[in-house]
Structure 1
Amino acid sequence: MLAETVCSAVSAAGLGIAAVTAYRKRFLTALRITAYSLIPVGLVMTGAVGWLASTAFSPLAWAGFGVLGASWALFALVRAVEHRRGARTARAATGDGSAVPVSPSASAPALGRKPDRRSGAPAAPSAPAVPSRASSDDFSDIEAILKKHGI
Protein backbone atom coordinates (compact mmCIF):
# COMPACT_ATOMS: atom_id res chain seq x y z
CA MET A 1 0.00 0.00 0.00
CA LEU A 2 2.88 2.36 0.75
CA ALA A 3 4.50 1.71 -2.64
CA GLU A 4 1.27 2.58 -4.44
CA THR A 5 0.96 5.83 -2.48
CA VAL A 6 4.55 6.82 -3.27
CA CYS A 7 4.04 6.09 -6.99
CA SER A 8 0.85 8.17 -7.05
CA ALA A 9 2.61 11.09 -5.34
CA VAL A 10 5.51 10.92 -7.80
CA SER A 11 3.06 10.97 -10.71
CA ALA A 12 1.15 13.92 -9.27
CA ALA A 13 4.38 15.88 -8.76
CA GLY A 14 5.46 15.09 -12.32
CA LEU A 15 2.13 16.24 -13.72
CA GLY A 16 2.48 19.49 -11.74
CA ILE A 17 5.95 20.05 -13.19
CA ALA A 18 4.57 19.33 -16.66
CA ALA A 19 1.83 21.93 -16.14
CA VAL A 20 4.39 24.57 -15.14
CA THR A 21 6.53 23.67 -18.15
CA ALA A 22 3.53 23.97 -20.48
CA TYR A 23 2.72 27.37 -18.95
CA ARG A 24 6.23 28.48 -19.97
CA LYS A 25 5.35 27.48 -23.56
CA ARG A 26 7.67 24.47 -23.74
CA PHE A 27 5.05 22.08 -24.97
CA LEU A 28 7.27 19.25 -26.23
CA THR A 29 9.16 19.15 -22.95
CA ALA A 30 5.84 19.25 -21.05
CA LEU A 31 4.55 16.28 -23.07
CA ARG A 32 7.76 14.34 -22.34
CA ILE A 33 7.47 15.04 -18.60
CA THR A 34 3.80 14.01 -18.70
CA ALA A 35 4.74 10.71 -20.37
CA TYR A 36 7.35 9.98 -17.69
CA SER A 37 4.90 10.99 -14.94
CA LEU A 38 2.26 8.51 -16.08
CA ILE A 39 4.64 5.51 -15.87
CA PRO A 40 4.40 5.02 -12.06
CA VAL A 41 0.58 5.17 -12.12
CA GLY A 42 0.51 2.66 -14.96
CA LEU A 43 2.77 0.31 -13.01
CA VAL A 44 0.48 0.57 -9.98
CA MET A 45 -2.60 -0.16 -12.10
CA THR A 46 -1.02 -3.27 -13.68
CA GLY A 47 0.04 -4.67 -10.31
CA ALA A 48 3.74 -4.59 -11.13
CA VAL A 49 4.53 -2.41 -8.12
CA GLY A 50 2.80 -4.81 -5.73
CA TRP A 51 4.65 -7.74 -7.23
CA LEU A 52 7.97 -5.91 -7.02
CA ALA A 53 7.35 -4.88 -3.41
CA SER A 54 6.43 -8.42 -2.39
CA THR A 55 9.51 -9.76 -4.18
CA ALA A 56 11.91 -7.22 -2.67
CA PHE A 57 10.89 -8.08 0.90
CA SER A 58 10.65 -11.84 0.45
CA PRO A 59 13.49 -13.97 1.89
CA LEU A 60 12.57 -16.74 -0.55
CA ALA A 61 13.05 -14.37 -3.49
CA TRP A 62 16.47 -13.32 -2.18
CA ALA A 63 17.44 -16.98 -1.75
CA GLY A 64 16.41 -17.50 -5.38
CA PHE A 65 18.65 -14.62 -6.44
CA GLY A 66 21.49 -16.24 -4.47
CA VAL A 67 20.93 -19.56 -6.26
CA LEU A 68 20.97 -17.75 -9.61
CA GLY A 69 24.24 -16.04 -8.63
CA ALA A 70 25.80 -19.36 -7.64
CA SER A 71 24.72 -20.83 -10.97
CA TRP A 72 26.31 -17.91 -12.82
CA ALA A 73 29.55 -18.34 -10.82
CA LEU A 74 29.66 -22.04 -11.70
CA PHE A 75 29.20 -21.26 -15.40
CA ALA A 76 32.06 -18.72 -15.20
CA LEU A 77 34.28 -21.24 -13.40
CA VAL A 78 33.64 -23.93 -16.02
CA ARG A 79 34.39 -21.46 -18.81
CA ALA A 80 37.67 -20.39 -17.17
CA VAL A 81 38.77 -24.00 -16.67
CA GLU A 82 37.91 -24.88 -20.28
CA HIS A 83 39.82 -21.82 -21.51
CA ARG A 84 42.86 -22.75 -19.42
CA ARG A 85 42.68 -26.40 -20.48
CA GLY A 86 42.53 -25.35 -24.13
CA ALA A 87 45.69 -23.23 -23.73
CA ARG A 88 47.44 -26.07 -21.93
CA THR A 89 46.52 -28.48 -24.76
CA ALA A 90 47.96 -26.06 -27.31
CA ARG A 91 51.20 -25.80 -25.29
CA ALA A 92 51.45 -29.58 -25.05
CA ALA A 93 51.03 -29.87 -28.81
CA THR A 94 54.03 -27.61 -29.44
CA GLY A 95 56.16 -29.20 -26.73
CA ASP A 96 58.09 -26.05 -25.85
CA GLY A 97 55.65 -24.19 -23.61
CA SER A 98 54.54 -21.58 -26.12
CA ALA A 99 50.82 -21.25 -26.63
CA VAL A 100 51.01 -20.72 -30.39
CA PRO A 101 52.03 -23.68 -32.55
CA VAL A 102 55.04 -22.79 -34.68
CA SER A 103 56.74 -24.75 -37.38
CA PRO A 104 60.14 -26.05 -36.16
CA SER A 105 61.91 -24.58 -39.18
CA ALA A 106 60.47 -21.13 -38.53
CA SER A 107 62.71 -20.40 -35.57
CA ALA A 108 65.76 -22.38 -36.68
CA PRO A 109 67.49 -19.56 -38.63
CA ALA A 110 67.05 -17.14 -35.75
CA LEU A 111 68.65 -19.60 -33.34
CA GLY A 112 71.47 -20.54 -35.71
CA ARG A 113 70.56 -24.23 -35.56
CA LYS A 114 69.20 -26.70 -38.04
CA PRO A 115 66.14 -28.72 -37.02
CA ASP A 116 66.33 -32.47 -36.69
CA ARG A 117 64.25 -33.95 -39.52
CA ARG A 118 62.93 -36.89 -37.48
CA SER A 119 61.77 -35.19 -34.27
CA GLY A 120 61.33 -31.61 -35.45
CA ALA A 121 63.39 -30.40 -32.47
CA PRO A 122 66.39 -28.15 -33.04
CA ALA A 123 69.74 -29.92 -33.16
CA ALA A 124 72.80 -28.91 -31.15
CA PRO A 125 73.91 -25.34 -31.72
CA SER A 126 76.30 -24.81 -34.59
CA ALA A 127 78.99 -22.16 -34.93
CA PRO A 128 77.77 -18.67 -34.07
CA ALA A 129 76.71 -16.62 -37.03
CA VAL A 130 79.05 -13.76 -38.00
CA PRO A 131 77.26 -10.51 -38.71
CA SER A 132 77.50 -9.50 -42.31
CA ARG A 133 79.04 -6.30 -43.57
CA ALA A 134 75.60 -5.01 -44.64
CA SER A 135 74.27 -5.01 -41.08
CA SER A 136 77.28 -3.07 -39.79
CA ASP A 137 76.75 -0.51 -42.57
CA ASP A 138 73.20 -0.07 -41.38
CA PHE A 139 74.40 0.76 -37.89
CA SER A 140 77.00 3.20 -39.18
CA ASP A 141 74.28 5.03 -41.08
CA ILE A 142 72.19 5.22 -37.94
CA GLU A 143 75.18 6.44 -35.92
CA ALA A 144 75.85 9.14 -38.52
CA ILE A 145 72.26 10.34 -38.36
CA LEU A 146 72.32 10.43 -34.57
CA LYS A 147 75.62 12.36 -34.55
CA LYS A 148 74.22 14.80 -37.11
CA HIS A 149 71.32 15.61 -34.76
CA GLY A 150 73.59 15.78 -31.71
CA ILE A 151 72.26 12.69 -30.02
Structure 2
Amino acid sequence: MLAETICSAVSAAGLGIAVVTAYRRRFLTAARILAYSLVPIGLVLTGAVEWAVDTAFSPSAWLGFGLLGGAWLLFMTTRVVERRRGGTRKERKAAQAAQREAVAPAATAPSLGPGSRPAAQPATKPQSVTKPKAAGSGDDFSDIEAILKKHGI
Protein backbone atom coordinates (compact mmCIF):
# COMPACT_ATOMS: atom_id res chain seq x y z
CA MET A 1 0.00 0.00 0.00
CA LEU A 2 2.82 2.37 0.87
CA ALA A 3 4.72 1.52 -2.33
CA GLU A 4 1.67 2.30 -4.46
CA THR A 5 1.24 5.66 -2.74
CA ILE A 6 4.90 6.55 -3.30
CA CYS A 7 4.71 5.57 -6.97
CA SER A 8 1.55 7.66 -7.44
CA ALA A 9 3.23 10.68 -5.84
CA VAL A 10 6.32 10.30 -8.03
CA SER A 11 4.12 10.10 -11.14
CA ALA A 12 2.14 13.18 -10.12
CA ALA A 13 5.35 15.14 -9.51
CA GLY A 14 6.73 14.05 -12.88
CA LEU A 15 3.51 15.08 -14.58
CA GLY A 16 3.76 18.54 -12.99
CA ILE A 17 7.38 18.93 -14.10
CA ALA A 18 6.42 17.87 -17.63
CA VAL A 19 3.66 20.56 -17.73
CA VAL A 20 6.07 23.27 -16.58
CA THR A 21 8.65 22.13 -19.15
CA ALA A 22 6.05 22.19 -21.94
CA TYR A 23 5.00 25.71 -20.85
CA ARG A 24 8.62 26.78 -21.48
CA ARG A 25 8.27 25.42 -25.04
CA ARG A 26 10.63 22.49 -24.55
CA PHE A 27 8.21 19.94 -25.92
CA LEU A 28 10.71 17.16 -26.61
CA THR A 29 12.05 17.30 -23.08
CA ALA A 30 8.51 17.54 -21.69
CA ALA A 31 7.47 14.43 -23.60
CA ARG A 32 10.49 12.55 -22.25
CA ILE A 33 9.70 13.61 -18.65
CA LEU A 34 6.06 12.58 -19.15
CA ALA A 35 7.21 9.13 -20.34
CA TYR A 36 9.39 8.72 -17.24
CA SER A 37 6.56 9.86 -14.95
CA LEU A 38 4.15 7.28 -16.40
CA VAL A 39 6.46 4.34 -15.58
CA PRO A 40 5.70 4.18 -11.79
CA ILE A 41 1.93 4.25 -12.37
CA GLY A 42 2.30 1.55 -15.01
CA LEU A 43 4.24 -0.61 -12.56
CA VAL A 44 1.54 -0.17 -9.92
CA LEU A 45 -1.27 -1.04 -12.31
CA THR A 46 0.47 -4.19 -13.61
CA GLY A 47 1.20 -5.46 -10.10
CA ALA A 48 4.96 -5.35 -10.52
CA VAL A 49 5.38 -3.18 -7.43
CA GLU A 50 3.48 -5.67 -5.27
CA TRP A 51 5.58 -8.51 -6.67
CA ALA A 52 8.80 -6.59 -6.00
CA VAL A 53 7.76 -5.81 -2.41
CA ASP A 54 6.79 -9.45 -1.81
CA THR A 55 10.10 -10.61 -3.27
CA ALA A 56 12.19 -8.13 -1.28
CA PHE A 57 10.81 -9.35 2.06
CA SER A 58 10.70 -13.07 1.25
CA PRO A 59 13.47 -15.25 2.73
CA SER A 60 12.91 -17.97 0.14
CA ALA A 61 13.34 -15.43 -2.67
CA TRP A 62 16.67 -14.31 -1.17
CA LEU A 63 17.74 -17.94 -0.82
CA GLY A 64 16.90 -18.44 -4.51
CA PHE A 65 18.93 -15.38 -5.49
CA GLY A 66 21.82 -16.68 -3.39
CA LEU A 67 21.69 -20.07 -5.11
CA LEU A 68 21.59 -18.43 -8.53
CA GLY A 69 24.60 -16.31 -7.59
CA GLY A 70 26.47 -19.39 -6.34
CA ALA A 71 25.70 -21.27 -9.56
CA TRP A 72 26.92 -18.33 -11.63
CA LEU A 73 30.11 -18.13 -9.54
CA LEU A 74 30.80 -21.86 -10.03
CA PHE A 75 30.18 -21.58 -13.75
CA MET A 76 32.57 -18.65 -14.14
CA THR A 77 35.23 -20.37 -12.00
CA THR A 78 35.11 -23.50 -14.13
CA ARG A 79 35.41 -21.40 -17.29
CA VAL A 80 38.55 -19.70 -15.92
CA VAL A 81 40.11 -23.04 -14.97
CA GLU A 82 39.18 -24.50 -18.37
CA ARG A 83 40.88 -21.62 -20.18
CA ARG A 84 44.03 -22.01 -18.08
CA ARG A 85 44.25 -25.71 -18.87
CA GLY A 86 43.82 -25.14 -22.57
CA GLY A 87 40.27 -26.06 -23.48
CA THR A 88 37.66 -28.64 -22.62
CA ARG A 89 38.41 -32.25 -21.79
CA LYS A 90 37.38 -33.30 -25.30
CA GLU A 91 39.76 -30.74 -26.85
CA ARG A 92 42.64 -31.86 -24.61
CA LYS A 93 42.05 -35.55 -25.52
CA ALA A 94 42.01 -34.65 -29.21
CA ALA A 95 45.27 -32.74 -28.83
CA GLN A 96 46.87 -35.69 -27.00
CA ALA A 97 45.70 -38.10 -29.70
CA ALA A 98 47.11 -35.83 -32.41
CA GLN A 99 50.39 -35.66 -30.54
CA ARG A 100 50.53 -39.47 -30.27
CA GLU A 101 49.75 -39.79 -33.99
CA ALA A 102 52.59 -37.42 -34.80
CA VAL A 103 55.06 -39.54 -32.82
CA ALA A 104 53.75 -43.04 -33.58
CA PRO A 105 54.22 -43.21 -37.38
CA ALA A 106 57.93 -42.39 -37.14
CA ALA A 107 58.38 -44.89 -34.34
CA THR A 108 56.71 -47.73 -36.25
CA ALA A 109 58.17 -47.00 -39.71
CA PRO A 110 59.81 -50.09 -41.20
CA SER A 111 63.55 -49.96 -41.51
CA LEU A 112 65.02 -50.44 -44.96
CA GLY A 113 68.13 -52.19 -43.76
CA PRO A 114 71.57 -51.09 -42.66
CA GLY A 115 72.87 -50.14 -46.13
CA SER A 116 69.99 -47.98 -47.27
CA ARG A 117 71.25 -44.73 -45.77
CA PRO A 118 74.24 -43.69 -43.73
CA ALA A 119 73.96 -43.83 -40.00
CA ALA A 120 73.63 -40.51 -38.29
CA GLN A 121 76.79 -39.44 -36.58
CA PRO A 122 76.47 -37.58 -33.32
CA ALA A 123 77.43 -33.98 -33.68
CA THR A 124 80.70 -33.19 -32.00
CA LYS A 125 82.33 -29.87 -31.56
CA PRO A 126 85.70 -29.50 -33.17
CA GLN A 127 88.49 -29.28 -30.67
CA SER A 128 89.94 -25.80 -30.69
CA VAL A 129 92.68 -24.20 -28.81
CA THR A 130 91.25 -22.22 -25.97
CA LYS A 131 92.89 -19.13 -24.71
CA PRO A 132 93.11 -18.57 -21.00
CA LYS A 133 90.32 -16.31 -19.88
CA ALA A 134 90.90 -13.16 -17.98
CA ALA A 135 89.94 -13.29 -14.36
CA GLY A 136 86.23 -12.60 -13.90
CA SER A 137 85.29 -12.47 -17.60
CA GLY A 138 83.81 -15.99 -17.84
CA ASP A 139 82.22 -15.93 -14.41
CA ASP A 140 79.77 -13.23 -15.44
CA PHE A 141 77.90 -15.46 -17.86
CA SER A 142 78.44 -18.86 -16.25
CA ASP A 143 75.38 -18.45 -14.04
CA ILE A 144 73.24 -17.48 -17.00
CA GLU A 145 74.56 -20.39 -19.07
CA ALA A 146 73.76 -22.79 -16.25
CA ILE A 147 70.19 -21.50 -16.01
CA LEU A 148 69.69 -21.75 -19.77
CA LYS A 149 71.08 -25.31 -19.85
CA LYS A 150 68.82 -26.25 -16.95
CA HIS A 151 65.78 -25.15 -18.95
CA GLY A 152 67.00 -26.75 -22.15
CA ILE A 153 67.65 -23.55 -24.03
| TM band (smaller chain) | 0.5 to 0.7
Q: 1:73 and 1:124, CA in 2 relative to 1: closer, same or farther beyond 3 A?
A: farther
* Structure 1 counterpart of 2:151: none
Q: CA deviation at 1:19?
A: 0.9
Superposed CA RMSD in Å reads 2.7
Letter of the 1:53 counterpart: V
Q: Flag the structure with larger Rg.
A: 2
> 2 CA distance for matches of 1:71 and 1:125?
61
- What TM-score do the two structures reach when normalised by structure 2? 0.56
1:13 aligns with 2:13: yes
Question: 3-state SS of the aligned residue for 2:25?
Answer: coil
Q: 1:125 and 1:12, CA in 2 relative to 1: closer, same or farther beyond 3 A?
A: farther
Unaligned runs of 5+ in 2: 97-106, 108-121, 127-153
Q: 1:26 and 1:63, CA in 2 relative to 1: closer, same or farther beyond 3 A?
A: same
Unaligned runs of 5+ in 1: 94-117, 128-151
Q: CA deviation at 1:124?
A: 7.5
* Structure 1 counterpart of 2:35: 35
> 2 CA distance for matches of 1:76 and 1:34?
41
Q: CA deviation at 1:85?
A: 2.1
* Structure 2 counterpart of 1:45: 45
Q: In the TM superposition, what whole-angstrom CA distance separates every residue of 1:8-35 from its partner, at most 9, and x where no partner exists? A: 0000000010111111111221111111
* Structure 2 counterpart of 1:75: 75
| Residues 1-151 of structure 1: pairs in structure 2 closer than 5 A | 1-86=1-86
Q: CA deviation at 1:70?
A: 0.8
* Structure 2 counterpart of 1:102: none
Q: 1:16 and 1:126, CA in 2 relative to 1: closer, same or farther beyond 3 A?
A: farther
Higher relative contact order (CA 8 A, sep 6+): 2
Q: In the TM superposition, what whole-angstrom CA distance separates every residue of 1:110-138 from its partner, at most 9, and x where no partner exists? A: xxxxxxxx9xxxx87957xxxxxxxxxxx
Question: 3-state SS of the aligned residue for 2:86?
Answer: helix
> 1 CA distance for matches of 2:30 and 2:4?
24
> 2 CA distance for matches of 1:6 and 1:125?
90
Q: 1:82 and 1:24, CA in 2 relative to 1: closer, same or farther beyond 3 A?
A: same
Letter of the 1:46 counterpart: T
Identity across the alignment (%):
68
Letter of the 1:51 counterpart: W
Moved over 4 A (4+): 123-127
Q: 1:125 and 1:22, CA in 2 relative to 1: closer, same or farther beyond 3 A?
A: farther
- What TM-score do the two structures reach when normalised by structure 1? 0.56
Question: 3-state SS of the aligned residue for 1:25?
Answer: coil
